[in-house]
A and B are shown apart, each in its own frame.
Chain A
């Protein structure tokens, strides 16, 4: 429990430091600088991250399997590259459709095999951020995704037809 709180505190403080980076270079609070940070800024950061960590460490850490957090971060970074490749492809595709106007829009239903909320969130966000597809509705009980697709190739598509491999990655990264 204490370990989880300390880990959360470290993450929060590092993030605060990232956001306030450079406060010591320009205008600060007038207190002495530590490297690139204003020391007043760092003290406020310490206080705020302590408060936030005591309040939120229960929700931030996976207590059943703490080491999973590290693998998740690296898998997520790998996923970003896959996602970016898909994103560029989809952008060029929709840019082409804008000029040819050969569209066949429609809302289709897919049923990916995802159990957790975070996995579904990640998949829905990936789908929404890819041009050509976006999530209109998610049925929380059955796990059905209702997706607006700009060019309906099949009226009963599988998850692979709409979201190339996002389901596999969402399951690998988040579940």
Chain B
């Protein structure tokens, strides 16, 4: 494997590890989601770019196909993960998951939910 892809993939794995440590250390659901966002953005971007560079360096049609498909997968991953993260957070807040006591404010709970369900 070439040097640049090795560096990218190892960096990605290090950020993934940091994200996992964050998920374990943070106090409540919402702050844990910030840590998991590291895993799904920088980690996946770095690892997939490592794979793309390796595939392009190796050459040949088969490997170019892998490179292009990895890129499409990355785009799909980022769009769907953003949406699902938002849906999770919204569902958690609606079903009454409490913020940790160290939180300083909760503007959404102060605002009354006038619409039922939606």
> Do these two chains interact?
yes
Residues of chain A touching chain B, judged by Cβ–Cβ distance below 8 Å, are: 18-19, 21-22, 25-26, 36, 84, 87-88, 91, 94-95, 97-98, 101, 103-109, 124-126, 128-132, 134-137, 146, 148, 150, 152, 155
- Given A94-B38, A124-B82, A136-B30, 17 more A-B residue pairs with CB atoms under 8 Å apart are A26-B62, A87-B42, A91-B41, A95-B22, A105-B99, A105-B100, A105-B103, A105-B104, A107-B30, A107-B99, A125-B82, A125-B86, A128-B85, A131-B42, A134-B34, A134-B89, A137-B93
CB distance from A170 to the nearest CB of B (A): 14
Interface residues of A, dominant DSSP? mixed
Between A and B, 26 residue pairs with Cβ closer than 8 Å are A21-B68, A22-B62, A25-B61, A25-B62, A25-B65, A84-B45, A94-B22, A95-B15, A95-B18, A98-B26, A103-B26, A104-B104, A105-B28, A105-B31, A106-B99, A109-B107, A125-B79, A128-B86, A129-B82, A129-B85, A130-B37, A131-B37, A134-B34, A136-B93, A148-B89, A152-B104
CB distance from B112 to the nearest CB of A (A): 12
A125 neighbours in B (Cβ, 8 Å): 79, 82-83, 86
A98 touches B93 (CB 8 A): no
CB distance from A134 to the nearest CB of B (A): 6
A88 touches B42 (CB 8 A): yes
Provide the bound-state CA to CA distance between A95 and B94, in Å.
28
Provide the bound-state CA to CA distance between A108 and B105, in Å.
7
B108 touches A136 (CB 8 A): yes
- One of A101, A106, A134, A136 near B37 (C-beta < 8 A): A134
Interface residues of B toward A: which range?
A: 35 or more
B99 touches A87 (CB 8 A): no
* Interface positions of B from 1 to 45, Cβ below 8 Å from A: 15, 18-19, 21-22, 25-26, 28, 30-31, 33-35, 37-38, 41-42, 45
Provide the bound-state CA to CA distance between A94 and B23, in Å.
12
Provide the bound-state CA to CA distance between A134 and B89, in Å.
8
A94 neighbours in B (Cβ, 8 Å): 22, 34-35, 37-38
